Structure formats: C-alpha cells, structure tokens
Amino acid sequence: MMKTNHHLQYGSLANIYGAFLTLSGFKRGVESFLDRIDFNFSPGAKIFDGGCGTGLFALYFARRFPESDIYASDIEPRMLRELEDVIVKDGISNISVFRNDLNFPEELFDFRSGRKISIQQNFFDSILLSGALEHVDAEKTIQRLSLILKPGGSFLNLGVKQSPAGAVLGMVYKFKPHSLAELSEICRGAGFEDIHSLPLEPKDFPANLSRVAILARKKI
C-alpha cells in the first residue's frame, strides 16, 4: 500500500504547482538546460519520468520527442490529475500516467484504471528524474531503476542542490538533497558508467540557483 501522508504538501499545492513553475521562470530555466543536452532517442523510445509532479519533464520530452513513449508517475494523485488535465487539453498522445511509489519503480499503477503494470528488467531507454530522488531512499531506488533501464540507457537526475537554503527547505518539506559525490558513488555501485555532472548556467535562471544535474549511462 502506498503511503502519501507526508507528501500531502504536494497534493495541496497541486493546482498551483504547475502555474508556479511557469510564472517563476523555473520551467523556462529547466527547459533551457534540457535543450542543451543531446538526447538521442529513437522513435518508440520508452522514457520514465518518476516523481513527475505536474509533468515538468514529461511534457517537455513528449513535445521534443513526439514519437517517444513517456511513462510519467507520481505518488500524489492530485499532481497526476493536473498532468492528466494538460494531456487532455493539449491532446498529447505519448504520455501515460501512473501512480507509483518511486521506492519501487518497477510497480506502476495505471492512473485511470488502477491496473498494476510490472515493468520488466531492461525496459526503459531513459530514466529522467527532477526533484524526486530527494523524497526516497536514493541508493535503493537507483539500484532498482538500474534494473529496469536498458544497458546503454541514460539516467538523468536534476536534483536539489545541497545548500543552506536546500537544508531548510528539506526540513520543512521532508526531503534530503544529496551531494554529487554521493550520487555518483551510488550510480557507480548500481552499474552506471560515464557519470558526470552537467552544469546549469546563469541563462537557466532561476533553476541554476537550486538545482544540479547528474547524467549517467547504464553499462552495456
């Protein structure tokens, strides 16, 4: 059974969360950062956005790679409902929405039917996380994510920067920012290689103030 009680802050913010990302410029900053990354997805590529919230990553990748197949999941139904509304309003056909506890990324529940879908090993071409790893057991989650990622598949984490402000926010919202060193070590242990940090730049403002990215590839 999925526990949601300590994520209620996201549920109660759900209807303003997407608008906040847009109005604050955060969405534009993240997209300017993502635009610089040379993702090479073939048509039909399966992409997982875990802890998708209202779909910051899912919507970006669905538009940039219209022939890809995006699996967007979150533990908080009210965030997913906001994403579903955008999908319907904009007629987006390549995002499927799932309820899921990212601690167990191989178990997805179709958001509309509740039907459980078990993800097979080596299933996804890419796994993309933004601000979600901080809410789960990072080591166990990355190990499990590695299992469902194809050999050679890419893993991107756009995480919360470790900073005094991040620490305070973490206490309020109950999340744990990780250092790049810590995440790199976890990724190495989970079978990733070619692990490097990707800088956010001033032109990605304001996302560059609070976020830091790591990109890795699962060993072939």
Q: Determine, following the binding rule CB under 6 A, whether residue 119 of this chain makes contact with ligand SAM.
A: no
| Three-class DSSP labels, 60-91 | HHHHHCCCCEEEEEECCHHHHHHHHHHHHHHC
Stretch of 49-57, 63-71, 196-204, 208-216 lying at the interface with ligand SAM (CB under 6 A): 49-57
For residue 114, the surrounding DSSP H or E stretch is: none
Q: Determine, following the binding rule CB under 6 A, whether residue 132 of this chain makes contact with ligand SAM.
A: yes
CB of 219 to ligand SAM, least distance (A): 26
Q: Determine, following the binding rule CB under 6 A, whether residue 7 of this chain makes contact with ligand SAM.
A: yes
Report the phi/psi class of residue 84: left, alpha or beta, with left for phi > 0 and alpha for psi in -120 to 50. Answer: alpha
CB of 45 to ligand SAM, least distance (A): 19
Q: Determine, following the binding rule CB under 6 A, whether residue 79 of this chain makes contact with ligand SAM.
A: yes
Site for ligand SAM (CB under 6 A): which residue of 62, 133, 136, 148?
Answer: 136
Q: Taking the CA atoms of 62, 179, 7 and 1 in sequence, report the sign of the dihedral they define.
A: positive
Rounded Cα distance between 27 and 86, Å, is 15
Stretch of 51-59, 113-121, 188-196, 210-218 lying at the interface with ligand SAM (CB under 6 A): 51-59
φ, ψ dihedrals at 69, nearest 5°: -120, 105
User: What are the residues whose beta carbons fall under 8 Å from the beta carbon of 117, sequence distance 6 or more?
Assistant: 98, 107, 108, 109, 110
Q: Any idea which residue has 């608008």 for tokens?
A: 19
By beta-carbon proximity to ligand SAM, the closer residue of 21 and 138 is: 21
Q: Determine, following the binding rule CB under 6 A, whether residue 101 of this chain makes contact with ligand SAM.
A: yes
List residues near ligand SAM by CB under 6 A.
Answer: 7, 10, 21, 51-53, 56-57, 74-76, 79, 100-103, 130-132, 135-136
